[in-house]
Amino acid sequence: MGASSTDVLFTPVPSCIVRLSDIAYNYWWAWNPSATDLFRRVDPSLWEEIYHNPIQFLRNVRQKNLTAASNDAQWVADYDTVVAAFDAYMANSQTWFKRTYPTQKASIAYFSAEFGIHESLPIYSGGLGILAGDHVKEASDLDLPFVAVGFIYPQGYFRQRLDHSGWQEAVNTKMSFADIAAFPARTPNGDEVVVEVELPGRTIYAKVYTLHIGRVVLYLMDTDIHPNSPSDRELSARLYGGDHDMRVAQELVLGVGGVRALRQLGIAPTVWHMNEGHSAFLVLELARELVAKGVPFMQAFEQVKAQAVFTTHTPVPAGNDAFSLDLIDKYFARYWDKLGISRDEFMNIAMQQQSWGPSFAMTVLALRLSQMHNGVSKLHGEVARSMWQWLYPGATQDEVPITSVTNGVHSASWLAPKMNELYTSVLGKDWYDHLDEPALWEALTKSDDATFWQSRMHLKNILVQFVRERLAQRHTRLGSPPVAWPIFDNNTLTIGFARRFATYKRATLLFKDADRLKAILNNPERPIQMVFAGKAHPADEPGKHFIQDVYRRSQESGFAGKIVFLEEYDMCVARALVQGVDVWLNTPRRPYEASGTSGQKASLNGIPNLSILDGWWPEAYTGTNGWAIGDERHYDNLDEQDWNDAQHLYHLLEQEVAPAYYDRNADGVSARWVAISKAAIATCAPQFSTRRMLKEYVNRLYLKVSK
């Protein structure tokens, strides 16, 4: 690896710290804050300027800063510690998978349209991508025989800016490959991997890159290469850009091209995991391979199915990808011949009636051609069984073979260093190895309240600073004068709300009765402040209006200084929020939140959830580890649902949340609050971690299908 790093022009690294480039070229650094800290300390302002990207940092850092670091005894000692930790991680042979399944020969391939690894690699848009990134990182921690496949999207997902009126603007910038920790992938013979996929009237080429995520590899494809036509070069330029036509082409490259990439790499998966339906064309390619070898289609169908796992994430019917038959005719006209079936037989594999007519539905394709399928929380499993019951004639809803594996979060990626310090002192040095064992966390419940409170306050101070800096940056950019009112207060109860501004998430529910909310936030004894963040899909006009509504509220008298909207919700903003606020608010319209994971990140850091009983929360809520808004009844009248949920939310803020937070003892500590906060950690950290989640995928799904 060291050799390849000389391909790009790095500032020469003093010989005593040359391993810095090895660290930069493995995304292991992304979940090891002591590693990112090394880079930051060399030149803090450069680190912010290049937005936390170690490769770009090493290309741009000044020689004198590196030399100074290499002469700083403390820095060098920390460098040695980080390098030793990295080497120990990579060399560890006592990993969970090796210990548990010493003779298992499985090989897992995980396909996803997006991966949230780190803010410096913006190839994710929201929860789906973050989950995929966390899945890959945990696959590394558990040392699974695992590879992941996706797109590199040189222009990433858009960056969000709000104009003077709070209207969302989308900014796209192009990444330079020299700034990404990616190597051209190579075949066993040493050739670069370029795959070909037939599109109508042409062949498209995709070059494959290797990214090291700890012990596992993420392969990302890029179509911006010669000899593709300009429009094909744009195909993978942006995440979720383009129209339906481009979407089919993109998904063809992901599914079909992805299989071909693994073949060229000499990888022979025994498990094919489709994370959402975007990659489902891969099953057609696997069937085509078998038919080409002489296997009859029906038998090929069964063989492919026997190796495939599919995770559905979308309880909103419109959120499931489905294409018109015209489009499928255009893109697959020659494909059914290769499968040895007719057009009608082909269409019937994935046919779903939509309000606009018959469609070829990716979820149907994936469900039909996978042996194991799951939703992402218990409640979502139920919703999915009811949504897809029509596919299983004769089965009662309970018999529909869609199970659930509840999502979790990669703890090391989301845990604040300050809380890590606390857990290490209370739970022991090796707590991370045991984090999914509920008994481990009991010791925390009995730990010192004042120390716990101070750790939380320390993190809140960091957040308040972060909020002020981000707002100041926006004011500078817009050329507007600094605001007259004080922004945020270190001692005020702070509520966080950050998520995609999809309308079902109801970001504006809180403003149903704005006067009541003003009274709650401005209560002199028990004040509250709020921070919002989130992007709307560029084509989602109602979502953009929600953002503008929240922004306008934040400027209104009574809310100004108490409610802020932060631009550009990404993994960096997410970390600041899920580590720094006091309460995490979630108000989706039940039952449209498949799981939700941001609340799990918050709980892990000791931030209790105040949430609708949707997604993961009904499984986690115990009555003492946070608050439940509303109940589990079903509403036919959505206005009634919104009204009731809002009323209950106000009631909880007034009667439960604020009183608990401000119930201080002589030392300024609220024992009541600390108990809730510790309960949030003890009940959620083990259960809603990717550690527990991935072991479930392995034990219940992967090894069931792997032969």
Ligand X SMILES: *Cc1c(COP(=O)(O)O)cnc(C)c1O
Give the footprint of ligand X on this chain (CB under 6 A): 126-127, 130, 499, 569-571, 574, 596-599, 601
Nearest residue to 500 (alpha-carbon basis) of 534, 532, 542: 534
Residue 295: CB minimum distance to ligand X, A: 41
**Residue type, position 400, single letter:** V
Give 164: exposed, middle or buried? Use CB within 10 Å, 0-12, 13-18, 19+: exposed
Number of H helices, E strands in the chain: 33, 21
Comparison of 127 and 258: residue with beta carbon closer to ligand X: 127
Strand partners, 360: 323, 351
Comparison of 54 and 534: residue with beta carbon closer to ligand X: 534
Q: How far is CA 30 from CA 93, 181, 217, in A?
A: 22, 12, 15
Query: What is the spatial distance between Cα 330 and Cα 321, in angstroms, rounded to a whole number?
Result: 17
Residue 202: CB minimum distance to ligand X, A: 36
Comparison of 265 and 536: residue with beta carbon closer to ligand X: 536
Comparison of 402 and 566: residue with beta carbon closer to ligand X: 566
Comparison of 232 and 570: residue with beta carbon closer to ligand X: 570
Residue 301: CB minimum distance to ligand X, A: 34
Comparison of 207 and 410: residue with beta carbon closer to ligand X: 410
Q: What one-character DSSP code corresponds to residue 511?
A: G
Residue 135: CB minimum distance to ligand X, A: 13
Q: What is the CA radius of gyration of the chain?
A: 25
Collect all residues with Cβ–Cβ distance below 8 Å to 170 and sequence separation of at least 6: 158, 159, 160, 161, 538
The residue length of the chain stands at 707
Residue 144: CB minimum distance to ligand X, A: 22
**Residue type, position 585, single letter:** L
Collect all residues with Cβ–Cβ distance below 8 Å to 463 and sequence separation of at least 6: 494, 531, 576, 577, 579, 580, 581
Query: What is the spatial distance between Cα 144 and Cα 269, in angstroms, rounded to a whole number?
Result: 12
Comparison of 156 and 258: residue with beta carbon closer to ligand X: 156
Strand partners, 151: 221
**Residue type, position 311, single letter:** T
Query: What is the spatial distance between Cα 513 and Cα 49, in angstroms, rounded to a whole number?
Result: 41
With residues binned 3-state (H G I as helix, E B as strand, rest as coil), the percentages for the chain, rounded to 5, are: 50, 15, 35
Residue 541: CB minimum distance to ligand X, A: 20
Comparison of 236 and 603: residue with beta carbon closer to ligand X: 603
Query: What is the spatial distance between Cα 54 and Cα 342, in angstroms, rounded to a whole number?
Result: 52
Comparison of 336 and 584: residue with beta carbon closer to ligand X: 584
**Residue type, position 544, single letter:** K
CB neighbour burial string for 405-437, b if at least 16 within 10 angstroms, e if fewer: bbbbbbbbbbbbebbbebbeebbeeebbeebbe
Residue 145: CB minimum distance to ligand X, A: 27
Query: What is the spatial distance between Cα 408 and Cα 375, in angstroms, rounded to a whole number?
Result: 13
**Residue type, position 413, single letter:** S
Residue 344: CB minimum distance to ligand X, A: 39
Comparison of 366 and 571: residue with beta carbon closer to ligand X: 571
Q: What DSSP string runs through 52-85?
A: S-HHHHHHH--HHHHHHHHT-HHHHHHHHHHHHH
Strand partners, 203: 198
Alpha-carbon torsion (398, 404, 406, 407), positive or negative:
negative
Q: What DSSP string runs through 617-647?
A: HHHH--SSSEEEES-S---S-HHHHHHHHHH
Comparison of 574 and 583: residue with beta carbon closer to ligand X: 574
Q: Tell me the HSE value of 462 on the side-chain side, using a 13 A CA sphere.
A: 17
Residue 629: CB minimum distance to ligand X, A: 15
Residue 601: CB minimum distance to ligand X, A: 6
Residue 619: CB minimum distance to ligand X, A: 14
Residue 130: CB minimum distance to ligand X, A: 4
Residue 376: CB minimum distance to ligand X, A: 10
Which tokens go with 216?
């596992």
Comparison of 492 and 586: residue with beta carbon closer to ligand X: 586
Are 544 and 501 a contacting pair, CB within 8 Å? yes
Residue 496: CB minimum distance to ligand X, A: 11
Comparison of 130 and 658: residue with beta carbon closer to ligand X: 130
Comparison of 214 and 596: residue with beta carbon closer to ligand X: 596
